[in-house]
């Protein structure tokens, strides 16, 4: 049996997205069918629509989603019909060289559904990040659906599926922020503000948000920034040193993906501190640093892929913290929109007006 539903498709490079009929097969072995309840609009969806990821059009967009399991295929054991789940793009394989070495959060062979969702004429769709969730029902691999507390709001919970997890994990998993640490976050959009929230959750006592947009800096304070710097007006490296007894921060997180802000993060860090890159650079960018300083300052220069998260470990724990009022996931939901409003939401995101627009089904 197949299911005929409505979904948001990027048919060709740079064209506005459109609402199309999508044919979703019943789950095969190791697959689950999810009734999508909410899906956030992420920069990565826009990158797909602009052709910046690859040319495998048409794309079924959407990947920051939560929903309910509607059907399970043969051999599925970790979830069952009726479970409330958050979708993820790290269904670990358990057998690749990263998994074998006990570091499954780096898994190099993650699972997606084997069967294809299609347009009505049979054209196969490429689901964004192997998910595709701007659609009433979607088909994913079992490991891509992580069961969490069903009392959580799907609008907020779905955001853990990508950008918010990336930011939280950049601070907690990759940066290893601990009690009493000082942290600076460059870029206070969705990912950066999640890094601020993560630093606060981990017990950092000095948390400095850096951006060029006062509106974003105000949001940063709401998520736990103890200090803010508008880097259009003030040199952020100098100011961060002033705020940390002349030393620099223990962990500097770059959440934009620009060489200039990476350099600022590098120099705003204390000796033996850590720089975490979670912003995604463009392919043609280069960064220049004095080689002697890379040695002389010691510490670590790290990159954070999806917050180095392990969904089965991190999602239920973070949802519990959210339910206990310790993690403000609702604060990332700037607006709730309909499935037909995704194109307009891309423009609001480009203008920096929202942290996240979330499609409610
Ligand atoms: Zn693996
Ligand atoms: Zn995303």
Task: Give the per-residue pLDDT at 310.
Answer: 98
Helix-helix angle 259-267:236-243, to 10 degrees = 30
Task: Give the per-residue pLDDT at 268.
Answer: 98
Assign residue 338 a region (left: φ > 0; alpha: ψ between -120 and 50; beta: otherwise).
beta
Q: In percent, how much of the chain has pLDDT > 90?
A: 99
Average pLDDT, the chain: 97
Cα 88 to ligand 2 centroid, rounded to whole Å: 10
pTM, full prediction: 0.96
pLDDT band at 1; cut points 50, 70, 90? confident
Cα 180 to ligand 2 centroid, rounded to whole Å: 30
Ligand showing the shortest atom-to-Cα distance for residue 90: 1
Neighbours of ion ligand 1 (CB under 5 A): 93, 96, 99, 107, 109
Domain ranges of the chain: 2-161+328-360, 167-305
Residue 183 pLDDT more than 90?
yes
Instruction: Please state the rounded mean pLDDT for residues 165-178.
Output: 98
Span 236-254, pLDDT tens digits:
999 999 999 999 999 999 9
Instruction: Please state the rounded mean pLDDT for residues 273-290.
Output: 95
Please tell me the CATH code under which domain 167-305 is placed: 3.40.50.720
Task: Give the per-residue pLDDT at 151.
Answer: 98
Domain 2-161+328-360 and domain 167-305, same fold? Reply is no
User: Regarding beta strands 126-127 and 357-360, do their DSSP bridges make them parallel or antiparallel, or are they unpaired?
Assistant: unpaired
Give CATH superfamily name and number for 2-161+328-360.
Answer: Medium-chain alcohol dehydrogenases, catalytic domain (3.90.180.10)
SS3 label, residue 130: helix
pLDDT band at 265; cut points 50, 70, 90? very high
Cα 297 to ligand 1 centroid, rounded to whole Å: 34
- Contact of 48 with 14, CB cutoff 8 Å: no
Task: Give the per-residue pLDDT at 64.
Answer: 98
Tell me the two tokens of residue 255.
């959440």
């Amino acid at each position: 049996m197949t299911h005929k539903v409505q979904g948001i498709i990027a048919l060709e490079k740079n064209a506005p997205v459109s609402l199309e009929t999508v044919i979703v097969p019943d789950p095969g072995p190791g697959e689950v069918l999810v009734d999508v309840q909410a899906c956030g609009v992420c920069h990565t969806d826009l990158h797909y629509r602009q052709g910046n990821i690859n040319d495998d059009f048409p794309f079924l967009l959407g990947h920051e989603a939560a929903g309910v399991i509607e059907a399970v295929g043969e051999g599925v054991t970790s979830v069952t019909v009726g479970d409330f789940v958050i979708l993820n793009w790290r269904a670990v394989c358990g057998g690749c060289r990263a998994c074998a070495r006990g570091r499954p959060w780096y898994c190099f062979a993650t699972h997606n559904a084997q069967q294809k969702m299609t347009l009505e004429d049979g054209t196969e769709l490429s689901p964004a990040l192997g998910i595709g969730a701007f659609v009433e029902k979607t088909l994913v691999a079992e490991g891509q659906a992580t069961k969490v507390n069903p009392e959580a709001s799907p609008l907020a919970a779905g955001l853990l599926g990508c950008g918010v997890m990336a930011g939280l994990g950049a601070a907690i998993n990759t940066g290893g922020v601990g009690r009493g640490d000082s942290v600076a976050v460059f870029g206070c959009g969705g990912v950066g503000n999640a890094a601020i929230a993560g630093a606060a959750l981990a017990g950092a006592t000095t948390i400095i948000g850096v951006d060029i947009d006062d509106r974003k800096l105000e949001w940063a304070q709401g998520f736990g920034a103890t200090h803010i710097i508008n880097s259009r007006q003030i040199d952020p490296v100098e100011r961060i040193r002033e705020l940390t007894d002349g030393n620099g921060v223990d962990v500097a997180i770059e959440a934009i993906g620009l060489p200039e802000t990476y350099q600022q993060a590098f120099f705003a860090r204390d000796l033996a501190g850590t720089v975490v890159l979670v912003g995604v650079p463009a392919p043609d960018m280069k960064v220049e640093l004095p080689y002697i300083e890379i040695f002389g300052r010691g510490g670590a220069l790290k990159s954070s892929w999806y917050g180095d998260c392990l969904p089965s470990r991190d999602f239920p724990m973070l949802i519990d913290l959210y339910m206990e009022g310790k993690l403000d996931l609702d604060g990332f939901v700037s607006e709730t929109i309909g499935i037909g409003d995704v194109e307009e939401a891309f423009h609001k995101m480009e203008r920096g007006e929202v942290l996240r627009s979330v499609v409610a089904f």
